[in-house]
Amino acid sequence: MVFSVIPNISIKDSLLVRLGLAMGTIAFLSFISMVLSTSIADNSLGKANAINSAGSLRMMSYRLLSYAESGASTTTISQATTDFQLRLDALESFVISRSADYSELPAKFAEVRKFWGEYISPSLLSINEKRNAATLKALNEEISTFVLQINGIVSLIEEDLEQKIALLKSLQIALLVMTVSVCVITMWMMKNQVVKPLRDLLSVASRVRDNDFSAKASHTDQDELGQLGETFNMMVSEISETYENQKRLIAERTKELTETNRSLELMYRSALRLSESNFTPGSLKELLNDIEQELDLGSGTICINENGAYPAHRLTTNLLKSDIEKLCGERGCEDCFKSSLAQSDTPNAGDQPMVFVPIKDRGSITGVLPFRLKSDAAVPAWKMRVLEAIGSNLSMALSKMQHQEELHRIAVLEERSTIARELHDSIAQSLSYLRIQVARLEKNHLAPFDQHEIVSELKAGLASAYKELRELISAFRLKIDERGFQTALSETSEEFSRRCNLRIDCKNDLPPTLLSANEEIHVLRIIREALANIEKHAQASEVFISATVSENHVVAIRISDNGIGIGDARSPENHYGLIIMEDRAQSLDGVITVRNREQGGTEVLLTFLPEKSDTER
């Protein structure tokens, strides 16, 4: 972490210490101001009362003089003198206790006390014994002098009080000036060492937020904000480095994702082309062009062989004729196939290097995809994986096409066998019967009546054979296209309804994907055979066809009519419809039953288990 490299902040450089000192100084000055104010106020307390007391001493002095002049009793004068003495002592004690060392009050009070004790008090106490004009005059002068001394004390008390008030004022002004100075210095320090660095940090943070990692904090002193700025600069540097690394990683991942997307798109297009039922050399040519363009490869070719037989067959190529002759002449098919199995780049002598991609064995078909490289650099791993995947897809597509061809051949053979069997079971039997009748007609010399009977049978047989032939032709032309079994069943019903003037109701509850194509054909031909028999023999006006599936996946095909019934449930002579339906039911591993309905007419019921349902179980 970046904070682990930040040194400890010394006390002298600490912004908090400086701010603490400033606040402490302001608090200390405020405390001194309050202490001085309290002290001077306390010292000045009672000074006004002392002035009043001094004033009362003057009044009492004149009262004592009046007592002496009026001839008051000695007791009265003595009591007044005692009161005066007590008040003078109290005032002296108060004033001296509140006076400073430099004050003149103690000396002045000493003079007043001395003058009182030596002149005024003795004169008052002995006034009745020596009462005359000279004594009263002398006492009057002494009291006047004493009053002047008291006035001096009052003046000194007033001066002392004024001096303390002036001192308090001066101290308050000085302390106020000092406090204001400290506040100004503190505000200057806050502005230059706190506000400006914070604004700078906010400005830099705003620029960093806008992805401008070149922004740096300018305040990097040794105080807290300076260390914060230095730490912020280091953090921005690390963020910038991380951001650049992230951009580089994102660019790399984007490139990888782009390559992956290109490879997936190429694999999708190749799979789409190869998924076609019959891909052509043209589609393979487009596939080869896509591989060369998307993977930035040189010209290539697609070669396959079957059952390991050489030379291989070239499906398509982008190589020049001279390059093909050189490649096949120098390396040979077997060498190319071995190189593909080794999965390594094998350069031709003195020529561009090549890469050989195997079309892996999935059946009897194997192959190779040789591509020229545009440089001597090895093919990246992701390109090799894409090439191998395309080779695998191509192998599966070729195997699938081969398998489809085999299934098609088998289907053609089965259909031919079915046609031969049905021709044998219907037309061949009828023609055989007609040949027998013609032989009778040739060998026997019959009467005209008997000849006419044989000819009538020949005509009826030929008409029946022709009708059966037409039915077989319709059945063999039957197909179920992409519209499905439901559409084919509806068209068959409409055909027979129109041809035979029957009302045919159809109900199909089978899921669209339940029956295979082969099962759909057999079921539809059994329905057509049943409808053909109804047309020939039932004399019906209404037919109902239903196709249902039970919970245990058994399919039931029911064809019922309102005709005359089937009698002994045996096929009439020279007609093989029931036999054909039974053969088809056996092909489905099912059971077909023909019975008379209780309400009249015939019912044909086919039940079988579809191949898909059997596989699921």
Domain match, 190 and 45 both: yes
Domain match, 401 and 546 both: no
Domain match, 58 and 191 both: yes
> Does residue 413 sit within a domain?
no
Tell me the CATH number at 91: 1.20.120.230
Six-digit token string for 473 = 């032709």
> Which pLDDT score is estimated for 561?
92
> Does residue 255 sit within a domain?
no
How many domains, the chain?
3
Long-range (24+ apart) CB contacts under 8 A made by 545-550 are 545/489, 545/493, 545/504, 545/505, 545/506, 545/507, 546/506, 546/507, 546/508, 546/509, 547/489, 547/507, 547/508, 547/509, 547/510, 547/523, 548/509, 548/510, 549/509, 549/510, 549/511, 549/514
- Tell me what percent of the residues of the chain surpass a pLDDT of 70: 74
Q: Residue 447 to residues 31, 248, 399, 454: CA-CA distances in angstroms?
A: 164, 112, 70, 11
DSSP H or E stretch at residue 421: helix 381-423
Q: Which residue has the higher pLDDT, 440 or 226?
A: 226
Domain match, 165 and 278 both: no
> Does residue 235 sit within a domain?
no
| Residues spanned by the domain of 294 | 263-405
Query: Which one of 149, 177, 200 terminates a domain?
Result: 200
> Does residue 441 sit within a domain?
no
pLDDT tens, residue by residue, 296-330: 788 888 887 766 667 777 778 888 777 777 777 66
Tell me the CATH number at 551: 3.30.565.10
Residue 549 has pLDDT above 60, yes or no: yes
| Three-state SS at 73 | coil
Tell me the CATH number at 351: 3.30.450.40
> Which pLDDT score is estimated for 490?
87
Residue 548 has pLDDT above 80, yes or no: yes
Domain match, 138 and 23 both: yes
Q: Which residue has the higher pLDDT, 586 or 39?
A: 586
> Does residue 335 sit within a domain?
yes
DSSP H or E stretch at residue 485: helix 485-500
Domain match, 375 and 506 both: no
Beta bridge partners of 393: none
> Which pLDDT score is estimated for 521?
81
Between the ranges 4-8, 53-57, 365-369, 382-386, where is the mean pLDDT highest?
Answer: 382-386
Domain match, 193 and 288 both: no
Domain match, 190 and 51 both: yes
pLDDT tens, residue by residue, 425-439: 566 666 666 666 676
> Which pLDDT score is estimated for 345?
46
Task: Give 615's pLDDT tier (boundaries 50, 70, 90).
Answer: very low
Domain match, 34 and 171 both: yes
Task: Give 591's pLDDT tier (boundaries 50, 70, 90).
Answer: very high
Lowest model confidence (mean pLDDT) among 192-206, 396-410, 582-596: 396-410
> Which pLDDT score is estimated for 525?
84
What would the mean pLDDT of 78-93 be, rounded to a whole number? 79
What would the mean pLDDT of 318-346 be, rounded to a whole number? 68
> Does residue 518 sit within a domain?
yes
pLDDT tens, residue by residue, 529-546: 888 888 888 888 899 999
Six-digit token string for 267 = 């694999």
Domain match, 58 and 137 both: yes
Task: Give 605's pLDDT tier (boundaries 50, 70, 90).
Answer: very high
Q: What is the per-residue DSSP string for 225-277?
A: HHHHHHHHHHHHHHHHHHHHHHHHHHHHHHHHHHHHHHHHHHHHHHHHHHTST
> Does residue 132 sit within a domain?
yes
Query: Which one of 405, 438, 464 terminates a domain?
Result: 405
CA distance 336 to 347: 12
Q: Are 300 and 369 in contact (CB under 8 A)?
A: yes
> Which pLDDT score is estimated for 346?
46
Residue 220 has pLDDT above 70, yes or no: yes
pLDDT tens, residue by residue, 141-189: 887 887 887 787 777 777 777 777 888 888 888 888 888 888 888 888 8
Query: Which one of 405, 429, 457 terminates a domain?
Result: 405
CA dihedral 534, 535, 539, 540 (to 10 degrees): 60
> Does residue 601 sit within a domain?
yes
